[in-house]
A and B are shown apart, each in its own frame.
Chain A
């Protein structure tokens, strides 16, 4: 059964269209990550699901019930906010139990539920404190406790980790994954951190300008981005884009680059879908880790080294290739220096071709 269904949901604030016809279907137990740059409408979408905003048009179903006109409290959801939104005047215990309190749950039952949730999140020793007396990580845990104590059908998270420092964030990320495995509740999770998206999501919806650009599982999103925006948004350093024209050179398909000093990039022998594209203008997308250093005739392309950045586990090399810039992630003990020429091969199976006008994926 699907937990959440959105049909043609639109939202505009005055003249500004923030969401443009969002369709989405979420199966039980899924972990959907909404990923996108700031201001693309992620929070707005989440708020519409929660019932905090009304959509301009479109339908929202939770379970099989249309909930457009249902009060947030009756949607059987729980939400965790970026700022945690803990009630400053109430101690932790009441904060966690407030939802149950408002639903008229008896004090005994409530206490048991709160204790259970608090123990699960290791905040049972903090129950008497006010939110102001907690650290950022502890507040985060209390906010999660407040969400799980009600055992909702659907969790909504709005950038819950973005206020934590890097170490805590990694820790809580694991914690959330563990929690999801344990409870099996459906989750919609908003973030603009692609690592969170890749590690947590069973599916990722990449959004831009109020439109879902791609909705797929993390690996597909990474390896077969639906368009240049998704390709560029996911992955760090981001995917290399080279403009050029496809041509055939014997056995190979090559890319004749544009720019000040045109050169030729040999594409690996891949799927037949390159056939029939001769002479077409494209944008070639290659992830930095899809290159390896090569010499002589085996090299698919040759460039001049511009910058060398050793990061420890590997070395980032920025090359000028025919007037365009390419970043390659190469092995750790590379002995190259600026100004030298370097040959690279491209791994088969890991190139993307985009239409330069629409940005959409060709092959």
Chain B
């Protein structure tokens, strides 16, 4: 009895490792291959026989994408849009999350649901009027306008995730702070926000990654080099210039490096926040 169950356990362990290794390869092989491609000479990419391990390595592709196109501008635009989005989310979303987490009042449940339902609105339905609207107020093709759009559809996620982190801070802390002499705002700023610091960082990173990656709104709402973000720029380059694979791969790698770094830093807290929000909601 014992031996069979031990053997069964060993079998399941082996199967577990097999599954995980397969899935890991499935997940990161495209990344690895792209990285390898970005380091190959064009001649080694377009060959008769596939080169799995590059025989020689070059950084020409990186130099090419960085110097021969508007890529730095695109990255800079993306950076500005992302930063603006995060700041807007932090200001408006933190307040809303705090309200939902700390107070019980008539209409709270409905409002919370309302913030969530927003996510169900099709981007396409929003995007057309938004185009007309932004053109009307002069925000079309501007980084700020794009950040505004991002903020509005990322806010629900931001609020729900952050609410989870706020919920974890005991309510009595604010009571104590108020008796000690803080206003409600003071208690929030001095006591709760420092306590939810990790949550704030993780939630911001989540929003930052989403804004950095976003493609559809950017495609529709930006029309010139002045505000275009990298996903749109890269996509257009592929279409217009028949971008060589190596250069495209280099561009891809450059643009996901910030994502990977941010992900690596706050991975644990962020995953916790996402799952808490979704499992509860």
Interface residues of A (CB under 8 A from B): 13-14, 47, 50-52, 71-73, 77-79, 81-83, 85-89, 98-99, 102-103, 146
Cβ-defined partner of B179 (8 Å) among A13, A14, A88, A99: A99
In the assembled complex, the CB of A354 is this many whole angstroms from the nearest CB of chain B, namely: 38
- Can you name 30 A-B pairs with beta carbons within 8 Å? A13-B104, A14-B106, A50-B175, A52-B178, A72-B175, A73-B178, A73-B179, A73-B180, A77-B179, A79-B175, A79-B176, A79-B179, A81-B172, A81-B175, A81-B176, A83-B170, A85-B170, A85-B175, A85-B176, A86-B176, A87-B176, A87-B191, A89-B194, A98-B180, A99-B179, A102-B180, A102-B186, A103-B181, A146-B176, A146-B180
Cβ of A85 and Cβ of B194 under 8 Å apart? no
The number of chain B residues with a CB under 8 A from chain A is: 18
The A-contacting residues of B in range 146-191, CB under 8 angstroms, are 170, 172-173, 175-183, 186, 191
Q: How far is the CA of A50 from the CA of B174 in the complex (A)?
A: 13
Cβ of A85 and Cβ of B172 under 8 Å apart? yes
Q: How far is the CA of A48 from the CA of B278 in the complex (A)?
A: 36
Q: How far is the CA of A88 from the CA of B176 in the complex (A)?
A: 12
CB-CB under 8 A from A87, the residues of chain B are 173, 176-177, 191
Q: How far is the CA of A89 from the CA of B173 in the complex (A)?
A: 11
Cβ-defined partner of B195 (8 Å) among A77, A79, A83, A89: A89
Given A73-B181, A98-B180, A102-B182, are A88 and B195 neighbors across the interface (CB < 8 Å)? yes
Cβ of B175 and Cβ of A47 under 8 Å apart? yes
CB-CB under 8 A from B180, the residues of chain A are 73, 98-99, 102, 146
Cβ-defined partner of B172 (8 Å) among A71, A73, A83: A83
Report the nearest A residue to B170, measured CB to CB: A83
CB-CB under 8 A from A82, the residues of chain B are 172
CB-CB under 8 A from A86, the residues of chain B are 176
CB-CB under 8 A from A47, the residues of chain B are 175
Given A89-B194, A89-B195, are A102 and B181 neighbors across the interface (CB < 8 Å)? yes
CB-CB under 8 A from A73, the residues of chain B are 178-182
Q: How far is the CA of A82 from the CA of B177 in the complex (A)?
A: 15
Q: How far is the CA of A107 from the CA of B39 in the complex (A)?
A: 61
Report the nearest A residue to B191, measured CB to CB: A87
In the assembled complex, the CB of B184 is this many whole angstroms from the nearest CB of chain A, namely: 10
CB-CB under 8 A from A103, the residues of chain B are 181
Q: How far is the CA of A79 from the CA of B172 in the complex (A)?
A: 10
Given A88-B195, A89-B194, A89-B195, are A50 and B179 neighbors across the interface (CB < 8 Å)? yes
With A85-B176, A98-B177 given, can you name 5 additional A-B contacts, CB distance below 8 Å? Answer: A71-B178, A73-B179, A81-B172, A87-B177, A102-B182
Q: How far is the CA of A81 from the CA of B177 in the complex (A)?
A: 12
In the assembled complex, the CB of A155 is this many whole angstroms from the nearest CB of chain B, namely: 11
Report the nearest B residue to A98, measured CB to CB: B180
The A-contacting residues of B in range 183-207, CB under 8 angstroms, are 183, 186, 191, 194-195
CB-CB under 8 A from B170, the residues of chain A are 83, 85
CB-CB under 8 A from A79, the residues of chain B are 175-176, 179
CB-CB under 8 A from B176, the residues of chain A are 79, 81, 85-87, 146
Report the nearest B residue to A53, measured CB to CB: B175
Cβ-defined partner of B181 (8 Å) among A50, A85, A99, A146: A99
Report the nearest B residue to A78, measured CB to CB: B179
Q: How far is the CA of A131 from the CA of B198 in the complex (A)?
A: 18
Pairs of residues from A and B, 4 with the lowest C-beta to C-beta distance, nearest first? A102-B181, A99-B180, A73-B181, A85-B172
In the assembled complex, the CB of A166 is this many whole angstroms from the nearest CB of chain B, namely: 24
CB-CB under 8 A from B194, the residues of chain A are 89
Q: How far is the CA of A73 from the CA of B173 in the complex (A)?
A: 14
Report the nearest B residue to A89, measured CB to CB: B194
In the assembled complex, the CB of A143 is this many whole angstroms from the nearest CB of chain B, namely: 9
CB-CB under 8 A from A78, the residues of chain B are 179
In the assembled complex, the CB of B271 is this many whole angstroms from the nearest CB of chain A, namely: 23
CB-CB under 8 A from A98, the residues of chain B are 177, 180-181
Q: How far is the CA of A146 from the CA of B175 in the complex (A)?
A: 13
CB-CB under 8 A from A13, the residues of chain B are 104
Cβ-defined partner of B175 (8 Å) among A52, A71, A88, A102: A52
Please indicate which of the listed interface residues B180, B191, B194 has the most CB atoms of chain A within 10 Å of its own CB: B180
CB-CB under 8 A from A71, the residues of chain B are 178, 183
Q: How far is the CA of A138 from the CA of B98 in the complex (A)?
A: 31
